[in-house]
Amino acid sequence: MFRDTADFVGSMKVITSKNNVAFYQYIIFMGANQKKMTGLTKTYEAAPEGSALRDSIKAVSIALNTEVAAFQKKSLMKTRHFYRMMVKMSMDVELPEPPRDSNGVITDSNFVYNYYIAHFWTMLIE
């Protein structure tokens, strides 16, 4: 049920579906944070190179990305249905460090690529 046709998502009231309640909370959270990030990006681009303002915006952006990732992970625990798959598809695959020899030189230059390919679709069904 929509209460405001100017803001369908924000005004959506879900009555019976737990998946839809969680999904709309997710959409609203992500939309709000996308607006914040857009504002930060515009301010960052307008700030002079090497300025303290750019450094502080970068720190805020990193904190915001960390908050979003934590929200996504927490959201995954709410349900194991369609909503869970939607959230997982929007998240980046966490890539491990490639193997290195005793001198710190990477021993398999394709390790991360192969890991990504092998785990991209399987992460959706975990």
Positive or negative, the CA dihedral 118, 123, 125, 126 is: positive
Report pLDDT for 80: 61
The phi-psi region of residue 50 (left if phi > 0; otherwise alpha if psi is between -120 and 50; otherwise beta) is: left
Largest interatomic CA distance in the chain:
63
Q: What is the mean pLDDT of the chain?
A: 81
pLDDT tens digits, 90-111: 777 778 899 999 999 999 999 9
Report pLDDT for 98: 92
* Band (126; pLDDT cuts 50, 70, 90): low
Of the two residues 21 and 122, the one the predictor is more confident about is 21
Provide mean pLDDT across the span 18-44: 86
Of the two residues 78 and 53, the one the predictor is more confident about is 53
Q: Compute the radius of gyration of the chain from its Cα atoms.
A: 19
Q: Where are the domains of the chain?
A: 1-91, 93-126
Cα dihedral 55→57→58→63 (10° resolution): 130
Residue 125 confidence (pLDDT) above 70: no
pLDDT tens digits, 62-87: 999 999 988 887 877 766 666 667 67
